[in-house]
Amino acid sequence: MINKIVPSVQEAVAGIKDGATVLVGGFGGAGQPMALIDALIAQGAKDLTIVNNNAGNAEIGLAALMKAGQVRKIICSFPRQADSYVFDELYRAGKLELELVPQGTLAERVRAGGAGIGGFYTRTGVGTMLAEGKAVRTIDGEDYLFEAPIKADVAFIKAKCGDRWGNLTYNKTARNFGPVHATAAGMTVAQVDEIVELGEIDPEAVVTPGIFVQRVVAVQS
Amino acid sequence: MERLTRDQIAQRLAQDIEEGAYVNLGIGLPTKVANYLPKEKEVFLHSENGVLGMGPAPEKGQEDWDLINAGKQPVTLLPGGSFFHHADSFAMMRGGHLDICVLGAFQVSRHGDLANWHTGEPDAIPAVGGAMDLAAGARAVYVMMELLTRDGKSKLVDQCTYPLTGLKCVSRIYTDYAVFQIEGDGVVRVVDDCSGAGQQELIRLTDLDLVF
């Protein structure tokens, strides 16, 4: 019997190595898998590259992981927030590398990574600072930038319901990067509000099919 | 002459949004536009974090932090609204499916170049979000801003000096003085002198050869 459900967040993050690239779902707090991040802080893997839309808030979640000194580099679109002071300080002190990526390019680079696509051309960013060092190609008279795929060792996502095969549904705008990140990692770990029986999720309503998910852990929200 | 307030700029812009339009309102000032869309018109509001058919802010106490907009403020969903993941959301933006996006700006050039994401100061922390995707992908990019900086310099300029968000992407600029249309080849037309500033004053303030 296939059972991807693990009994604890400690087991959900077991085996993550130093130097890993970790895709983390969430847009601000919505969809951020806080319990998995907390477990990763306890697990202690360091020298991590984190991919998320933001760079943490206050001293919880990603900000706590950065504060613990476990992050070497962050790939994101919008690090600056009213309460992103942990990131701000580390970045200004040169202790954290930042790769700034337009949000749609970030989502599409991860999508490409998950879909086995070796990059793509986009009009986003043409003629800007963020085009520096990127190949430009003219297609039908318009300039496009080449963007490389992003693949990761691990993805952490937050979903609403999950079953033992790893099928997932999400809650409202907490979906955001979750279904994209789930496709692009060697091991995808889903923190879910609720575990349901096989067949309880309407097959027409499955957002992330279980093929993309390796571990599911229930966390009371 | 009477300059428009920020709310009046939002109201003026809302008049130009047609029924059935798919619209993305950028964070900050542009979100005010939602308050002035006429109730009898159906307009689809899109937010980059995966929602279409966004409704007004919830009543106090009814906030759902899993239902937020791009500015990470709680919103509501209208009947008929939908949720989708980030790659789909940006396919809507980058694939030319949005009719209009409304953005704030530090500067717009007479060619329609937009600068709105980075001051370029050495200690500034850069944050781009979805601005470049919207600038490159929406069918029409409207800018909403005050015409002058605090020290009286025009933000509608010959050439942007701040780092660019997109090239030749802005079509209209709604300001407290007037509504400007970018017509190509560096031509800027005043389509509505809503403050009553007059031709000479608008030319003096912007230092551009405006067309009326």
pLDDT band at B39 (very low <50, low <70, confident <90, very high): confident
Q: Are A135 and A111 in contact (CB under 8 A)?
A: no
Q: Is the backbone of residue B198 left (phi > 0), alpha (psi -120 to 50) or beta?
A: left
Average of per-residue pLDDT across B114-136: 94
Strands (E), A40-119: 48-51, 71-76, 97-100
Burial class (CB in 10 A: 0-12, 13-18, 19+), A152: buried
Distance (Å) of CA B127 to CA A67, A184, B120, B165, B195: 20, 24, 11, 11, 33
**Beta carbons of A104 and B130 less than 8 Å apart:** yes
- B48 given a catalytic annotation: yes
Site from A124, A139, A142 to mutate, B interface, most B CB atoms within 10 angstroms: A124
For B129, the 3-state DSSP assignment is: coil
CA-to-CA distance for B91 and B48, rounded, in angstroms? Answer: 10
Site from B48, B49, B67 to mutate, A interface, most A CB atoms within 10 angstroms: B49
Q: Are A74 and A53 in contact (CB under 8 A)?
A: no
Structural domain containing residue B21: 6-206
**B204 phi, psi to nearest 5 deg:** -65, -45
The reply to whether B211 falls in a domain is no
Chain A residues in contact with B66 by the CB 8 A cut-off are 30-31, 171-174
Domain count, chain B: 1
pTM confidence score: 0.97
The strand order across the sheet containing B76-83 reads: B76-83, B51-55, B44-47, B22-25, B100-103, B140-144, B170-174, B179-182, B188-192
**Beta carbons of A80 and B164 less than 8 Å apart:** no
User: Looking at the partner chain, which of A28, A87, A124 has a beta carbon nearest the beta carbon of B68?
Assistant: A28
The reply to whether B29 falls in a domain is yes
**Residues in CB range of B180: below 8 A, 6 or more apart:** B156, B172, B173, B188, B189, B190, B191, B210
What pLDDT was estimated at residue B188? Answer: 98
Q: How far is CA B59 from the centre of its chain?
A: 26
User: Looking at the partner chain, which of B51, B85, B164 has a beta carbon nearest the beta carbon of A127?
Assistant: B164
Complex confidence, ipTM: 0.96
Range of weakest confidence among A14-18, A79-83, B43-47, B119-123:
B119-123
CATH number at residue B67: 3.40.1080.10
**Beta carbons of B83 and A100 less than 8 Å apart:** no
Evaluate if residue B62 carries a pLDDT over 80: yes
Q: Which residue pairs, CB below 8 angstroms and at least 24 apart, start in B31-39?
A: B31/B69, B31/B71, B32/B6, B32/B7, B33/B102, B33/B144, B35/B7, B35/B10, B36/B7, B36/B10, B36/B11, B38/B14
Chain A residue with Cα closest to B65? A30
The residue type found at A62 is L
Q: Are A85 and B65 in contact (CB under 8 A)?
A: no
**Token digits for A141?**
């008279």
**Beta carbons of A124 and B163 less than 8 Å apart:** no
Domain boundaries, chain A: 15-100+151-218
What is the percent of chain B with per-residue pLDDT over 90, rounded to a whole number? 94
Architecture of domain A15-100+151-218: 3-Layer(aba) Sandwich (3.40)
Segment A147-185, tens digit of pLDDT: 999 999 999 999 999 999 999 999 999 999 999 999 999
Distance (Å) of CA A112 to CA A109, A119, B67, B85: 5, 6, 27, 14
CA-to-CA distance for A124 and B165, rounded, in angstroms? Answer: 9
Q: Is residue B74 less than 8 Å (CB to CB) from chain A?
A: no
